[in-house]
Amino acid sequence: MRKVPAIRIRQLVDAPPRAEGSFVLYWMTATRRLEWNFALDHALHLAKSLGKPLLIFEAVSVAYPWASDRHHQALLDGMGEHREALSHTSVAYYPYVERRRGSGRGLLSSLAASACFVVTDDSLVFLNGRLLQAAGRLEGVGVQAVDSCGLLPLRAAERTFTAAYHFRRFLHKSLPEHLGDAPSRAPLSQLDLLKLASLPEPILYRWSPASAAELESRYFVSTLPIDHSVAATSWVGGAAAGRAALNGFVRDRLPRYFEDRNHPDRDGASGLSPWLHYGHLSSHEVFQAVIDAEGWSPLRLSEKADGRRNGWWGMSEPAEAFLDQLITWRELGYGYSAHQPDGARYEALPEWARNTLEDHVADRREYTYSLGKFAGAETHDDLWNAAQRQLVQEGRIHNYLRMLWGKKILEWTEHPREALDVMIELNNRYAIDGRDPNSDSGIFWVMGRFDRGWPERPVFGKVRSMTSKSTRRKVDLEQYLAKWADRRPGAHAAYDPRGRP
Ligand SMILES: Cc1cc2nc3c(=O)[nH]c(=O)nc-3n(C[C@H](O)[C@H](O)[C@H](O)COP(=O)(O)OP(=O)(O)OC[C@H]3O[C@@H](n4cnc5c(N)ncnc54)[C@H](O)[C@@H]3O)c2cc1C
pLDDT in tens, the chain (501 residues): 678 999 999 999 999 999 999 999 999 999 999 999 999 999 999 999 999 999 999 999 999 999 999 999 999 999 999 999 999 999 999 999 999 999 999 999 999 999 999 999 999 888 898 999 999 999 999 999 999 999 999 999 999 999 999 999 999 999 999 999 999 999 999 888 999 999 999 999 999 999 999 999 989 999 999 999 999 999 999 999 999 999 999 999 999 999 999 999 998 999 999 999 999 999 999 999 999 999 999 999 998 888 889 999 999 999 999 999 999 999 999 999 999 988 999 999 999 999 999 999 999 999 999 999 999 999 999 999 999 999 999 999 999 999 999 999 999 999 999 999 999 999 999 999 999 999 999 999 999 999 999 999 999 999 999 999 999 999 999 999 999 986 654 545 555 555 443
Same domain for 100 and 20: yes
What is the DSSP-derived secondary structure letter of residue 266?
A: G
What is the DSSP-derived secondary structure letter of residue 253?
A: I
* Cβ of 330 below 6 Å from ligand 1: yes
Same domain for 328 and 357: no
Strand order in the sheet with 9-13: 9-13, 143-146, 115-121, 23-28, 54-60, 92-97
* Cβ of 271 below 6 Å from ligand 1: yes
CB atoms within 10 A of CB 474: 11
Range of the domain at 410: 346-484
For residue 104, give the CATH number of its domain.
Answer: 3.40.50.620
249, 262, 273, 391, best to mutate for ligand 1 pocket (most atoms within 8 Å of CB)? 273
What Cα–Cα distance (Å) separates residue 359 from each residue in 127, 215, 354, 460, 463?
34, 52, 8, 9, 11
399 Cα: distance to centroid of ligand 1 (angstroms): 6
Asked whether 121 and 148 are in contact (CB, 8 A), the reply is: yes
Which positions ≥6 away from 115 have C-beta within 8 Å?
18, 21, 22, 23, 24, 25, 55, 141
CB atoms within 10 A of CB 7: 15
pTM for the model: 0.96
What is the DSSP-derived secondary structure letter of residue 252?
A: I
* Cβ of 125 below 6 Å from ligand 1: no
List, in sequence order, every beta strand (DSSP E) within 16-104. Answer: 23-28, 54-60, 92-97
Is 292 a domain residue?
A: yes
CB atoms within 10 A of CB 18: 17
Alpha-carbon distance of 449 to 382, in angstroms, equals: 28
Helices (H) and strands (E) in the chain, counts: 21, 6
Which positions ≥6 away from 362 have C-beta within 8 Å?
none
Same domain for 120 and 60: yes
* Shortest-distance Cα residue to atom 6 of ligand 1: 439
Same domain for 361 and 288: no
What Cα–Cα distance (Å) separates residue 60 from each residue in 126, 218, 232, 276?
13, 16, 16, 18
28 Cα: distance to centroid of ligand 1 (angstroms): 24
Is 58 a domain residue?
A: yes
The 10s digit of each residue's pLDDT in 268-291 is 999 999 999 999 999 999 999 999
What Cα–Cα distance (Å) separates residue 480 from each residue in 237, 249, 398, 472, 476?
24, 20, 10, 11, 8
Same domain for 326 and 350: no
The 10s digit of each residue's pLDDT in 414-456 is 999 999 999 999 999 999 999 999 999 999 999 999 999 999 9
* Cβ of 281 below 6 Å from ligand 1: no
* Shortest-distance Cα residue to atom 21 of ligand 1: 399
- Closest of 190, 182, 195 to residue 148, by C-alpha: 182
Same domain for 402 and 370: yes
Is 154 a domain residue?
A: no
Same domain for 403 and 314: no
Rounded to the nearest angstrom, the gap between the alpha carbon of residue 315 and the centroid of all alpha carbons in its chain is: 26
Is 438 a domain residue?
A: yes
Ligand 1 atom with minimal separation from the 423 CA: 1
